[in-house]
Amino acid sequence: MHVPDGFINAPASVATAVVAAGAVAVSLRGARRELDERTAPLAGLVAAFIFAVQMLNFPVAAGTSGHLLGGALAAILVGPYTGVLVMSVVLLMQSVLFADGGLTALGVNITVMGIVTVVVAYVLFRGLVKILPRGRRSVTVASFVAALVSVPASAAAFTLLFAVAGTTDVPVGTVLTAMVGVHVLIGLGEAAITALTVGAVIAVRPDLVYGARGLAAPLKLRIGGELVDAAPASAAAAEPVAARSSRSPRKVWVVGLAASLLLAGFVSFYASASPDGLEKVAEDKGFDSQAEEHAGSDWWLADYGVKDLANERLSGGLAGTVGVGATLALGSGVFWAVRRRGTNTPAAASEGRADSHVSESA
């Protein structure tokens, strides 16, 4: 659902750029509290993985395809603030390197595809995990529902923006109906990918899933015929947590990177070539002609292929591999810097001194 240049007028494009910049600034501060020694190395990988999966358009209706947006997945895996940064990195790389999504529309895309999806998904996810039974299955179910709802919410946000600042006169009601309708179908694919990915990580390293923290069910004891919460000894309870926290996420990182390279470098060749939901609606409703050519349409990686490389399979695979590597490098650099800055703040330093004092006392 990448919005090209020309769909939204210049004043609204500037306004959304300001909104996006503000959200990124707030998220840079918030991510300092979310990123730790476990999640910081994985945040860049999450960005690379979302980039890779977004290359896999899947058919959703006759002549229409869809792809993962990724806001729900990012928010649940690494936190909502970090999730906004993840989506911003992905959308920036797609626009600058691959001419996917307009340059002047970058603020629009970050707002609609990044901020809206992350906020809607994470708020819904947190609400669901509070009312569902505690456990891994509930996290997976909540992930599915949150991802499903986030996609049509993003489509509705675009339609609202288009109604206010679109560059052509089209009945908004028909655009809204078409956009939400097709993106509900796309949302089903998004939900399946998100639930499977979150479930896979929870199965091997639940401590790495930000949205699953603190959701372990308390130990129950049967006393007098009734189940009551057990009161575990503090030392016994702390030991496995500390052990889990000290485990390196290296294996998950390696497997995730390998999967990203495989998806972008090989599987993407078999992705659907049909227009995505926004492109199809624009074509059907007659405002596709408003799209302006991307300033980088002749760049060497434009349209996810290497310029002047005749072999389509090799061209697409190489472009996808470069994209994964570039996104991973940029994302890892950003999140490493955020994490390092977070550990150097006075609050973090005082927390570290407190932890040391507790350890010495024990």
Looking at the predicted structure, is the pLDDT value of residue 238 above 50? no
Residue 353, pLDDT score: 44
The per-residue pLDDT for range 63-81, each reduced to its tens digit, is 999 999 999 999 999 999 9
Residue 291 · residue 100 · CB < 8 Å: no
Q: Report, as an integer, the average pLDDT of 247-269.
A: 93
Burial of residue 348 (CB within 10 Å: 0-12, 13-18, 19+) is middle
Q: Which residues pair with 66 in a beta bridge?
A: 58
Q: How far apart are CA 223 and CA 33, in angstroms?
A: 40
The per-residue pLDDT for range 79-137, each reduced to its tens digit, is 999 999 999 999 999 999 999 999 999 999 999 999 999 999 999 999 999 999 988 89
pTM over 0.85: yes
Residue 308 · residue 318 · CB < 8 Å: no
Range of lowest pLDDT (68-82, 208-222, 225-239) = 225-239
Q: Report, as an integer, the average pLDDT of 45-57.
A: 97
Is 275 or 350 the better-scoring residue by pLDDT?
A: 275
Looking at the predicted structure, is the pLDDT value of residue 241 above 60? no
Q: Report, as an integer, the average pLDDT of 235-250.
A: 52
Residue 263, pLDDT score: 97
Chain Cα centroid distance, residue 340: 22
Tell me the CA distances in angstroms from 31 to 5, 125, 343, one per residue in order: 30, 18, 12
Residue 226, pLDDT score: 60
Residue 225, pLDDT score: 60
Q: Report, as an integer, the average pLDDT of 34-38.
A: 84
Which of 56-77 are b and which e, b meaning 16 or more Cβ less than 10 Å from the residue's Cβ?
bbbebeeebbbbbbbbbbbbbb
Residue 222, pLDDT score: 55
Range of lowest pLDDT (31-45, 193-207, 216-230) = 216-230
Looking at the predicted structure, is the pLDDT value of residue 145 above 70? yes
Q: How confident is the model at residue 227 (pLDDT cuts 50, 70, 90)?
A: low
Is 70 or 225 the better-scoring residue by pLDDT?
A: 70
Q: How confident is the model at residue 243 (pLDDT cuts 50, 70, 90)?
A: very low
Looking at the predicted structure, is the pLDDT value of residue 350 above 70? no
Mean pLDDT score of the chain: 88
The per-residue pLDDT for range 2-18, each reduced to its tens digit, is 999 999 999 999 999 99
Q: Report, as an integer, the average pLDDT of 152-159.
A: 97
The per-residue pLDDT for range 270-307, each reduced to its tens digit, is 999 999 999 999 999 999 999 999 999 999 999 999 99
Residue 20, pLDDT score: 98
Residue 224, pLDDT score: 60
Q: Which domains does the chain have, with CATH numbers?
A: 10-217+247-352 (1.10.1760.20)
